[in-house]
Chain A
């Protein structure tokens, strides 16, 4: 066999490869259609004409009503009770018997295909919807392959934090259905539940001045996360949230609470949700009319310095330093760490159940927004009004789009309505029973009713509700109410900036982010981060700033 591959046969091989040139049309066949999408952002007039009207819903009154803050921020309404006889908001069956597929991410347990809940939902919606929940942890790799194969489903959820990965701006232009004619202005009044979704959330679904996305779980209190603490363990020590006002106060807790011998560390990773309090902008800020990237701010270095000290002083749990984030909650539940950073999504009923299972009396608390200097007014930038956005396929006919929008209207029914009960709890008797008036899932319900399926296609705006754990609801509502006045809109808020690929890669700045991570784990010095930043700036950071100035700032303004 070794005689085969001599030089002569390499030549023949080259010839036969040339013969394969007939295969090229095959590759070209991947192409066709597809317009070049425009990069940049939405124009103010475009947004105005694409936005739907807002008509507040007159549904169940919240037990703890919404509080309005500055800059349009508002807390989520909270509910402690569940209506005894849910009211229907939709008359008749929304669908007309069409068949569709939907893909949504799911972090957790996939319900079995064709289960009784899906069947019941199909009946209630009047369509045959094939739900295809996909592993949330791999969603970022699944969607691009699906896109490349041009096998996008009829209805798909694309969480907004992955907008750059999925290049949603381009997908919208060529693959998704333009909802503007159906929903813009007063057209949305056909769908009253959708019309009750606040305007800001719809704005996040606008690409190229047209409306594409349907928001889920929109909120007026949009923050990435916060710094949590073990309220049940700290309060007996006399430590309460109102004593911790500044970052120095927080640092002081490190010494007080860390007890290595007992296997207790004061802190788990806190960087992600703490650095803004040093005055670091979300990504950009405007100084004298010029863009400044957060990497260029001295505040970032201060923040790094603080975190570096925290880690090197030994207040940070070693597993956190080792990069083991998967067990962060386990450590927190077990009391091995007492303070942790976390997304706001952690704070809910399931968390309460897991926590109390590990330590009876478990109570999660959150510090209020902190300041670098004592006596200063804290502030924090808001995130987009929603992080969950679903899209319809451009291949759908107008009447199919109408049918699915009617379905979305059903799914977006407000808290406590008959539709909300159906989507979230299933059929009474089959999937849930009432315990003390609160719908409580039975075994069938726990198996089949997965909250990360239909609600990822459309929901009303967020509410705080943790049936059976009212303390959690009250704590969250109090935290939001105490801090809502400190929220502000950052530069380019809700603007859906769409970048060309090479600029997007610079924007990600993976190398700098990796060095920052090493720094707040105490493995690299602040000066190393400075070096990484200057490499980044010369390797493209300056180009990014130029691009942002030319294509966004000067054309579309700051979005404020």
Chain B
């Protein structure tokens, strides 16, 4: 974030009475005294993160225990890897893992191209007013809660929803969408598209705006039609963003909408709706089997980190930056 900044920092370091540009090399005591206000300002955020993000990391110890909340971490019996053994012998866990991966894959294939296509389409709308209007509309669902989004889906497509009401009135068989376990992957993906695809176009629109228009003009002069221009200029221009977004998605593959599934689990049954996160909740907290749930959570975290790392490797192989540089 900062090469340019630090240069600027140096050039303006003249505000200090010493006038030395080697501000960074000052004795740490001096710097501490000088920056104590700044440090003080970060204290609340740091404290909150230490308590609510770092302390739970130590709670992962429970994954290696038979944790009993009435006894506490210190006095709970050690389990070694027994929880993991049980986990790996649990068909429900494998079911949840399978669902997680399957739902991720479906979302990757069906969801991912939508914002790109939408951005390309929107980019061809000439009227700025119209474009702004469309943008405001498609961004909106992003701000809805999952409770709300799913309620809307239920009202539209559910058993008593508007679609089935229409079908029944016209003597057609009602179409079971919201409670059908077999098409659940499609249902949640369309929910995700409805809610998030619009918001997803922001980054692609920005990347489109950054493409130099001279390139288009030159290509047009050379006789390239709109499709050729899209293929040779637009898409390469988006490549960086697309790869980055892909990396982010892959890294997040094990985190498919927790709330979304939690809310709909009752309707379609745990067999198709349980993903790793809901598994950890229902078989951890809800059965009082905390260690078991923590083990499932830890398993997920480790695999996720590996995925992020792997996705970055992939990005580097494509010659892109990914999340962090090589």
Contacts and interface: CB of A to CB of B under 8 A. Distances in A.
B74 A28 contact: yes
A20 B55 CA distance: 7
Given A28-B72, A34-B71, A23 B54 contact: yes
B57 interface: yes
Interface residues of A, number: 50
Given A27-B55, A323-B269, A167 B288 contact: yes
Nearest to A323: B269
A24 B58 contact: yes
Interface residues of B, number: 49
Interface stretch (A65-73, A138-146, A244-252, A442-450): A138-146
A514 interface: yes
Contacts of A31: 71-76
A230 to B, nearest CB: 23
B207 to A, nearest CB: 16
A28 B73 CA distance: 5
Interface string B255-279: 0000000000010010100000000
B55 A34 contact: no
Most A C-beta atoms less than 10 A away, residue of B66, B72, B92: B72
B69 A148 contact: yes
A501 B66 contact: yes
Contact of A165 (B59, B159, B288, B323): B288
Contact of B70 (A6, A23, A29, A170): A170
Contacts of B179: 322, 324
B17 interface: no
A539 B73 contact: no
Given A27-B73, A505-B86, A2 B321 contact: yes
Contacts of B159: 327
Contact of A3 (B82, B86, B325): B325
B206 to A, nearest CB: 16
B237 interface: no
B282 interface: yes
A399 interface: no
A49 interface: no
A451 interface: no
Interface string B315-326: 000000111110
B181 A30 contact: no
A166 B288 contact: yes
A32 interface: yes
Contact of A5 (B59, B74, B324): B324
Nearest to B286: A141
A500 B82 CA distance: 14
A167 B69 CA distance: 12
B2 interface: yes
B1 interface: yes
Nearest to B322: A2
A322 B58 CA distance: 43
Interface string A326-366: 01000000000000000000000000000000000000000
A465 to B, nearest CB: 33
A140 B285 CA distance: 10
Interface string B88-108: 011110000000000000000
Contacts of B282: 141
B55 to A, nearest CB: 4
A510 interface: yes
A6 B288 CA distance: 39
Contacts of A24: 55, 58
Nearest to A24: B58
Contact of A144 (B55, B86, B287, B324): B287
B152 interface: no
A21 interface: yes
B174 to A, nearest CB: 11
B136 interface: no
A26 interface: yes
A203 B325 CA distance: 67
Nearest to B271: A514
Interface string A1-27: 111111000000000010011011011
Contacts of B204: none
A328 B49 CA distance: 48
A322 B176 contact: yes
B323 A5 contact: yes
B155 interface: no
A149 B72 CA distance: 11
A330 to B, nearest CB: 10
A2 B312 CA distance: 12
Given A1-B1, A34-B75, A175 B58 contact: no
A502 interface: yes
Interface centre among A27, A165, A166, A500 (most CB of B within 10 A): A27
Interface string B129-162: 0000000000000000000000000000001000
When A and B form their complex, which 7 residue pairs have the shortest distance between CB atoms, in order from nearest? A31-B72, A148-B69, A141-B286, A20-B54, A23-B55, A34-B70, A5-B324
17 contacts: A3-B1, A3-B324, A4-B324, A17-B57, A23-B58, A24-B58, A27-B61, A27-B73, A31-B71, A31-B75, A140-B286, A165-B287, A500-B66, A501-B288, A501-B292, A502-B86, A511-B90
Given A3-B2, A31-B73, 14 more contacts: A1-B1, A5-B323, A6-B325, A20-B57, A23-B55, A24-B55, A27-B61, A32-B72, A34-B70, A145-B285, A165-B287, A324-B179, A500-B66, A505-B86
